[in-house]
Chain A
């Protein structure tokens, strides 16, 4: 076996035929190779800090309009005022972007507004009462343009983190199958299919099914779930940071069924999967992926763990069982 071929198989540069031939003839060596990959996959970079503001400052210093000799030129003066104006505008833009959804709401004539995130995108919504809602990917929030003085009610599909502004009027979130009522708290609410899960980060809230039956009161760090029309489960203590890791762009799976993992990857990375794996229901994943990790790398890690292989065909990832070894 020559080293170049081995290296190409190792770095996934080899053709499908070469890999299969190798896996057939040298199963032991192939197994070692995969373990080596699993070892190397543990080395993952941390999240970089966004240092744009600092960079901008340095850019100003480097800007030629500030160099001696140019200053006396009136044309340059105009340019530098313009750039100061631009600078201000850019700072304002950052604020504006966050408020854009709010502005959009005021701009339309409907009483209800809606913010929807596609796959691969998160969004932050500022409601009129001061409540802040962070929407996860593939989610939708419907809310009234103006809250009445008796009720603050919004509707959620998908997942969001709420920081409810305190107030005398209860804040209610409705999902497909559950109602959550709070007086001011921070919580994460997730609706997937016919299951709604809520965890409280701060404060206190009540959850019930859509018929407002079986109200369960939750405190900080507690979780409850409503499946279909069932009553909410009693409160259980959970690690809230894991449930809200999505807000930092992290992915945390704990004994998560593999098909759920793929659904989540679709939401977060806007990628498609074609899955041809029998008996996937028994496979669960426990892993943590940091922000900024490319989806290819995550897939490679998953595949190495479950003896799967992935291949990109027509923009979708085809996931197959890896027949060569077992």
Chain B
């Protein structure tokens, strides 16, 4: 963590609204993106993003990032998401399926043709079908370009585990997306 970041965090801990607004402006879209990949729902992702920021504000001095700010914010999102899954439905797997079904049609703009939307929905579903930790690791690496050590930090696992998770995430995707690779070939 650099000194500038530490100063910034101090001001947020002291509930300086301007500094907090800065944090919101800089990170809300990015954290929303992350939560969107996790929930596949614009509405849920927006609500969870709000919660993450509100928690930081409420905690004040007790909010004390011990890692780089960006990693820490992602950790907050991860925890918020896991809480949401736990609280929402007794069976997280079941919840995951429902969320996909309920929101997949509203996720993409109306201009996208049906075939493409169908394809996207299927891919989303397949990503969603991965075990949670693997999926999180995969999303962080693939869509957010996080290096393995940072993923390890965010998910509280070792780098070796990230390595293994990524390998099995890739294996799952390759197997399940086989049919779609063929579709892409035809175009």
Contacts and interface: CB of A to CB of B under 8 A. Distances in A.
A86 interface: yes
A209 to B, nearest CB: 36
Interface in A239-295: 291-292, 294
A4 B177 CA distance: 19
B132 interface: no
Given A13-B147, A40-B173, A292-B33, A3 B54 contact: no
A4 B184 contact: no
Interface stretch (B73-81, B87-95, B160-168): B160-168
Max chain B C-beta neighbours (<10 A), residue from A36, A45, A63? A45
A90 interface: yes
A166 B116 CA distance: 43
Nearest to B107: A46
Contacts of A12: 145
A167 to B, nearest CB: 36
A131 to B, nearest CB: 27
B54 A59 contact: yes
B6 interface: no
Given A7-B167, A46-B42, A32 B24 contact: no
B180 interface: yes
Contacts of A55: 24, 50, 53-54
A90 B18 CA distance: 9
Given A40-B173, A42-B119, A45-B37, A292 B30 contact: yes
Given A4-B166, A35-B185, A58-B54, A42 B32 contact: no
Interface in B136-166: 138, 141-145, 147-148, 163-164, 166
Given A45-B32, A48-B46, A49-B46, A62 B58 contact: yes
Interface residues of B, number: 53
Contacts of B46: 48-49, 51
Interface string B44-85: 011001100110011000000000000000000000000000
Interface residues of A, number: 39
Given A36-B173, A39-B184, A292-B30, A62 B167 contact: no
A243 to B, nearest CB: 16
B28 A11 contact: no
A43 B121 CA distance: 9
Please classify the interface of chain A as helix (H, G, I), strand (E, B), loop, or mixed, using the class held by over half of its residues.
Answer: helix
Given A39-B180, A43-B127, A297 B143 contact: yes
B167 A13 contact: no
Contacts of B145: 12, 294, 296-297
A7 B171 CA distance: 8
Given A36-B177, A39-B123, A39-B180, A51 B141 contact: no
Interface in A1-32: 3-4, 6-8, 10-13, 32
B43 to A, nearest CB: 10
19 contacts: A3-B167, A4-B166, A7-B170, A8-B166, A10-B170, A11-B141, A13-B141, A13-B147, A32-B174, A38-B184, A40-B123, A43-B143, A45-B36, A45-B37, A48-B42, A50-B28, A55-B54, A292-B29, A297-B145
Interface of A: 3-4, 6-8, 10-13, 32, 35-36, 38-40, 42-43, 45-52, 54-56, 58-59, 62-63, 86, 90, 291-292, 294, 296-297
Interface of B: 15, 17, 20-21, 24-25, 28-30, 32-33, 36-37, 42, 45-46, 49-50, 53-54, 57-58, 107, 109, 116, 119-120, 123-124, 127, 138, 141-145, 147-148, 163-164, 166-171, 173-174, 177, 180-181, 184-185
